Amino acid sequence: MIDLSEIPVAKPAKGSAGKTGTWRVLRPVIRYDKCTRCRLCIMYCVENTIDQEPNLYPKIDYDYCKGCGVCAQVCPTKAIAMVPEVK
């Protein structure tokens, strides 16, 4: 199995407007009871803000997630719900 942490992909960083996660209006929330650890959300996240925990479950970095919903769309078990962001 490929260790995704070893793939050289740039991580998002604080920009001139601050942490880009503040733009988000919808928040992806992972239901771990439905997650099969397939890692598709990690591979498809357009911002590379989903990391793989040592237990192989995905973890979203909300400092930089923009709430695009791609992860929820590709999740085969519908384990990711997009919920309104509470500011």
The binding site for ligand SF4 (CB under 6 A) comprises 28, 30, 35-41, 45-47, 49-50, 58, 60, 65-71, 75, 77, 79-80
Rounded CA separation 3/5 (Å): 5
Closest distance to ligand SF4 from the beta carbon of 45 (Å): 3
Nearer to ligand SF4, 6 or 25 (CB): 25
Residue 13, SS3 per DSSP: coil
Nearer to ligand SF4, 19 or 70 (CB): 70
Closest distance to ligand SF4 from the beta carbon of 16 (Å): 19
Closest distance to ligand SF4 from the beta carbon of 78 (Å): 8
Which tokens in the block code for residue 52? 């793989």
Nearer to ligand SF4, 19 or 38 (CB): 38
45: left (phi over 0), alpha (psi -120 to 50) or beta: beta
In 1-87, where do the E strands start and end? 26-30, 50-52, 58-60, 80-84
